Structure 1
Amino acid sequence: MADDEDRLDRAFLALSDPVRRALVARLSRGAATVNELAEPFAITKQAVSKHIRVLEEAGLVTRTRDAQRRPVHLDAGALEAMTAWIDRYRLDAERNYRQLDQLLTEKGHPR
């Protein structure tokens, strides 16, 4: 359980940066090299590599070797784990709002 929480902490921290969120968004369309990922940014390839390293350490992306290329791949499973965590609390909040709506209706207050 502590490992899962640590993984979530690293993933949410990694996604707190707009460049890393943009990299994840780009990788959601398919694997890409560092050069391809760096194209839209006004930062160095080395800076993009550092951002990718943070995403790797958070378990959000992986790299493979394909001859001379080292494509970066998004790990959809890691995003699913984050979504499941968010959904658990979203569902609790929705249930609380439904209960409040029901109570207000019973008391004769419009919603």
Structure 2
Amino acid sequence: MTTIITTHGDTPGATITRAEPKAVVVQPAARQHRLASLTARELNAMNARMDKHDRELAALQYLVVRVARGEDWLTEVLELRESGRTYANIAGHMDLTRALVVAALNSAEQEV
């Protein structure tokens, strides 16, 4: 990844990040220091919102697994894990998120 600070053009002082040869992301200079200017109160509020979203996601994953008990995909997740596959491998194989695979396996462990 290459970062270039511009000195001319429409947005002097902008940062250009090149992740791939054809992908270019330009961030104006005013946005670069946005996180640095956050107050402790704003940062705590942002962290609280992210924590709330994490809890909501965990609850939804738990509901999906509870509703899907006995479904074919859940059985397949368990069989793939028993065969030695990693969480990421199972998620990629079944088009699930890794977190949902972990929730399914945790639910199965709690039953036993």
Q: Which category describes the TM-score, using the shorter chain as reference length?
A: 0.3 to 0.5
Task: Indicate the structure with greater strand content.
Answer: 2
Relative to the length of structure 2, the TM-score reads: 0.33
With CA pairs under 8 Å and 6+ residues apart, which has the higher RCO, 1 or 2?
Answer: 1
Task: Indicate the structure with greater helix content.
Answer: 1
Relative to the length of structure 1, the TM-score reads: 0.34
Larger radius of gyration: 2
